[in-house]
């Protein structure tokens, strides 16, 4: 298929998001310097609402790991962590983030003048709902900073999420409160948790609407846009600014829909991305597809910050339900049902599976899922071998050749 030069359509709301993200990082940095607020580190689908409601500012090491990837700093950091016994085969967010700490560098320094390090935590709080790596990652920092480590152990590989599953998680969430009260020096206030959860629910609902705009033909949004614009849904959920931001972004996308503006001009093929992004290749991958009139427009990954079950009237149980129903927590059977719904809803022609070498937890192509889904739905797929952060595990030429061959296959199928 002929390669055409096609720009990736820019989202105007990006300027507003950049400001909100800068405010977020500077507030954390000020707190770390002045000690005017306590700081908690939290996993990306950890109990951020509880931490925020108890007055903590929240830093997300995975967000920092993704920044290391997107700035292509990660690959040089990983060996530092390897030298401390953390294998090159485990999560490259973990190894890049720990490596950057050991080297005393951060991508925040370049993006936000005046910030020279990540904010030191007063407590680290994880949920193993996504993987065990986060527990080991946070344990390393707890030892390094000599601060408390708290965690939630989630059942994994779940097909049907039952009362027994989420009630046990709700109890673990409640058990976080006494130690957090001690660390924060503040009494837990249920009304504040309900307020924060209500904002988080609203953010989640708006983020879902943003992602769902991609069901329109042509789609006003790409998966690659989503990986950038999900920032507030990850690090600012539970705040008013995240809600404000997604109202602005949604309005812009609805305007595109009204005017039939496509994110990828001449959209010919619509694809679904299953797995982690390749952070150091976001732009390259966006262009690889857009130049071939193909929009990778939806993904499991960006959908991971949709928490439709949040209910401010029943905070702990509804948080437990939402954080346990996540795709990554579930069995292959439940995951396949989910992807089938996505294929239908987003009207996709094919699926790209990213087999990320250092993240088996988000690589769903290793146990026959692509073959089973193709047999059931008739929707073909392509598996790309790579990694979220470690660029030594990526072959750009092979990816390009395989994508071109896959698009030829879709063309012939038409």
Cβ closest to ligand SF4, residue 225 vs residue 387: 387
If one asks whether residue 359 binds ligand SF4 (CB under 6 A), the answer comes out as yes
Cβ closest to ligand SF4, residue 234 vs residue 320: 234
If one asks whether residue 97 binds ligand SF4 (CB under 6 A), the answer comes out as no
Residue that has been written with the tokens 């500012």 in this structure: 57
If one asks whether residue 274 binds ligand SF4 (CB under 6 A), the answer comes out as no
Containing H/E element for 350? Answer: strand 350-356
Residue that has been written with the tokens 């991958």 in this structure: 285
Closest CA to 57 of 85, 92, 93, 33: 33
If one asks whether residue 388 binds ligand SF4 (CB under 6 A), the answer comes out as yes
Contact assessment for residue 292 and residue 3, using Cβ atoms and an 8 Å cutoff: yes
Binding mask 114-133 for ligand SF4 (x = CB under 6 A): ----------------xx-x
If one asks whether residue 75 binds ligand SF4 (CB under 6 A), the answer comes out as no
Please spell the DSSP secondary structure of 279-325, one letter per residue: GGGHHHHHHHHHTTTEEEEEEHHHHTT--TT--TTSHHHHHHHHHHS
Candidate ranges 179-187, 200-208, 227-235, 356-364; the one touching ligand SF4 (CB under 6 A): 356-364
Residue that has been written with the tokens 């896959």 in this structure: 406
If one asks whether residue 235 binds ligand SF4 (CB under 6 A), the answer comes out as no
Contact assessment for residue 100 and residue 73, using Cβ atoms and an 8 Å cutoff: yes
- CA–CA separation, 265 vs 6, rounded Å? 7
If one asks whether residue 278 binds ligand SF4 (CB under 6 A), the answer comes out as no
If one asks whether residue 382 binds ligand SF4 (CB under 6 A), the answer comes out as no
Least gap, CB of 317 to ligand SF4 (angstroms): 25
- CA–CA separation, 81 vs 141, rounded Å? 12
The pair of three-digit structure tokens given for residue 212, joined into one six-digit string: 């769902």
Question: What residues are paired with 149 via a beta bridge?
Answer: 124
Binding mask 302-341 for ligand SF4 (x = CB under 6 A): ----------------------------------------
**How many residues make up the chain in this entry?**
414
Least gap, CB of 357 to ligand SF4 (angstroms): 11
Containing H/E element for 373? Answer: helix 369-377
Our measurement of the distance from residue 171's CA atom to the centroid of its chain's CA atoms, rounded to an integer in Å, reads 26
Least gap, CB of 195 to ligand SF4 (angstroms): 29
Positions in 38-67 near ligand SF4 (CB under 6 A): 62
If one asks whether residue 74 binds ligand SF4 (CB under 6 A), the answer comes out as no
Contact residue for ligand SF4 among 24, 60, 86, 93 (CB under 6 A) = 93
Positions in 155-214 near ligand SF4 (CB under 6 A): none
Contact residue for ligand SF4 among 67, 108, 125, 134 (CB under 6 A) = 134
Neighbours of 291 (CB within 10 A): 17
If one asks whether residue 91 binds ligand SF4 (CB under 6 A), the answer comes out as yes
Under the rule (CB under 6 A), what is the footprint of ligand SF4? Answer: 62, 91, 93, 130-131, 133-134, 276, 359, 361-362, 388
């Amino acid at each position: 298929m002929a390669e055409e030069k096609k720009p990736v359509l820019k989202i105007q709301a990006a300027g507003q998001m950049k400001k909100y993200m800068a405010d977020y990082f500077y507030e954390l940095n000020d707190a770390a310097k002045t000690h005017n607020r306590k700081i908690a580190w939290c996993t990306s689908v950890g109990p951020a609402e509880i931490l925020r409601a108890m007055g903590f500012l929240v830093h997300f090491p995975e967000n920092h790991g993704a920044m290391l990837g997107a700035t292509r700093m990660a690959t040089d950091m990983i060996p530092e962590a390897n030298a401390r016994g953390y294998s090159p085969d485990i999560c490259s967010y973990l190894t890049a983030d720990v490596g950057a700490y050991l080297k005393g560098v951060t991508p925040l320094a370049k993006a936000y003048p005046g910030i020279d390090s990540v904010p030191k935590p007063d407590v680290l709080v994880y949920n193993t709902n996504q993987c065990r790596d986060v527990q080991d990652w946070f344990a390393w920092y707890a030892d390094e900073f000599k601060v408390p480590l708290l965690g939630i152990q989630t059942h994994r590989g779940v097909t049907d999420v039952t009362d027994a599953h989420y009630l046990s998680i709700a109890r673990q969430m409640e058990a976080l409160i006494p130690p957090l009260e001690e660390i924060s020096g503040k009494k837990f206030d249920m009304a504040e948790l309900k307020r924060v959860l209500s904002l988080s629910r609203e953010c989640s609902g708006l983020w879902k609407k943003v992602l769902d705009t991609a069901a329109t033909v042509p789609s006003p949004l790409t998966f690659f846009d989503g990986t950038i614009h999900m920032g507030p849904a990850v690090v600012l959920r539970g705040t008013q600014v995240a809600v404000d931001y997604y109202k602005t972004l949604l309005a812009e996308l609805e305007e595109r829909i009204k005017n039939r503006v496509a994110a990828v001009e001449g959209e010919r093929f619509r694809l679904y991305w299953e797995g982690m992004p390749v952070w150091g290749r976001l732009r390259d991958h966006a262009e690889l597809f857009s130049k071939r009139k193909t929009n990778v427009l939806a993904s499991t990954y960006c959908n991971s910050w949709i928490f439709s079950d949040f209910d401010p009237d029943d905070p702990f149980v509804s948080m437990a339900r939402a954080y346990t129903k996540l795709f990554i927590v579930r069995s292959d059977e439940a995951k396949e049902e989910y992807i089938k719904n996505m294929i239908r809803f987003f009207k996709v022609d094919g699926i790209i599976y990213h087999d990320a070498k250092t993240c088996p937890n988000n690589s769903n192509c290793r146990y026959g899922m692509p073959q089973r889904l193709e047999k059931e739905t008739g929707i073909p797929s392509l598996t790309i071998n790579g990694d979220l952060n470690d660029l030594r595990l990526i072959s750009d030429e092979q990816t390009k050749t395989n994508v071109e061959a896959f698009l030829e296959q879709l063309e012939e199928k038409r």
